[in-house]
Chain A
Amino acid sequence: RKEVEQDPGPFNVPEGATVAFNCTYSNSASQSFFWYRQDCRKEPKLLMSVYSSGNEDGRFTAQLNRASQYISLLIRDSKLSDSATYLCAVIPADKLIFGTGTRLQVFP
């Protein structure tokens, strides 16, 4: 089993839709969690950290479910500019482990 797993997608959604991605992790001792965004042919950029209590940044909400060992990213009111690949990242010990990413395509 992979340490971090994501549905590769693509998720094709219309503008204005709400979309959610999940990311599962295998190491129950993992302490830190992140979502990164990667545009086509560009480097990943940190989107947001995921805290135990969940956190929100504008249209983006990140949640952590320790019991089921997954994190989620919810995007409300999708924009065309949200089209990208979303990578989750987990620190089970001393290294950041990335998922393979979920591709989102928002269409007009």
Chain B
Amino acid sequence: DVKVTQSSRYLVKRTGEKVFLECVQDMDHENMFWYRQDPGLGLRLIYFSYDVKMKEKGDIPEGYSVSREKKERFSLILESASTNQTSMYLCASSPPTGPYEQYFGPGTRLTVT
């Protein structure tokens, strides 16, 4: 069974802190994605990666960076957290055929105070 896990379900951080969100998948998928989901705005792509050490900017990369050192792990980094980064963060992976049929992790609800 496909499984994507995220390091925390809930996280509270202070403005200016550096925040790491971890995502691990066990399906040997090449493709991994980070989204944020906000009411009325839906899912917005932050960054994605089609291979180890490879990353591509999504639609809203500002204020974020990512790391993909191993195939199964994709990390999202908030360099200096701000209150407008309070959101639900969802990681997803998909098989190598493309960004189809994405499998999502349970999400991390991040609050920045």
Contact = CB atoms under 8 A, between A and B. Distances in A.
Interface of A: 8, 32, 34, 42-46, 49, 87, 91, 94-96, 98-101
B104 interface: yes
Contacts of B104: 43-45
Interface of B: 33, 40-43, 45, 48, 58, 90, 98-107
A42 B38 CA distance: 13
A42 B104 CA distance: 10
B102 A96 contact: yes
A94 B43 contact: no
Given A43-B106, A95-B58, A49 B101 contact: yes
Contacts of A42: 106-107
Nearest to B9: A41
Contact of B98 (A45, A46, A94, A98): A94
Contact of B42 (A32, A49, A95, A98): A98
Contacts of A100: 40-42
A97 B58 CA distance: 11
14 contacts: A32-B98, A32-B100, A42-B106, A42-B107, A43-B104, A45-B104, A49-B101, A91-B98, A91-B99, A95-B99, A96-B33, A96-B102, A100-B40, A100-B42
A94 B40 contact: no
Interface core residue of B43, B105, B106, B107 (most chain A CB under 10 Å): B43
Contact of B100 (A8, A45, A87, A96): A96
Contacts of B103: 46
Contacts of A8: 40
A34 B43 contact: no
A44 B43 contact: yes
B102 A87 contact: no
Contacts of B98: 32, 91, 94
Contacts of A46: 101-103
A43 B105 contact: yes
Given A49-B100, A96-B45, A100-B42, 9 more contacts: A32-B98, A34-B101, A43-B90, A95-B48, A95-B99, A96-B33, A98-B43, A99-B42, A100-B40
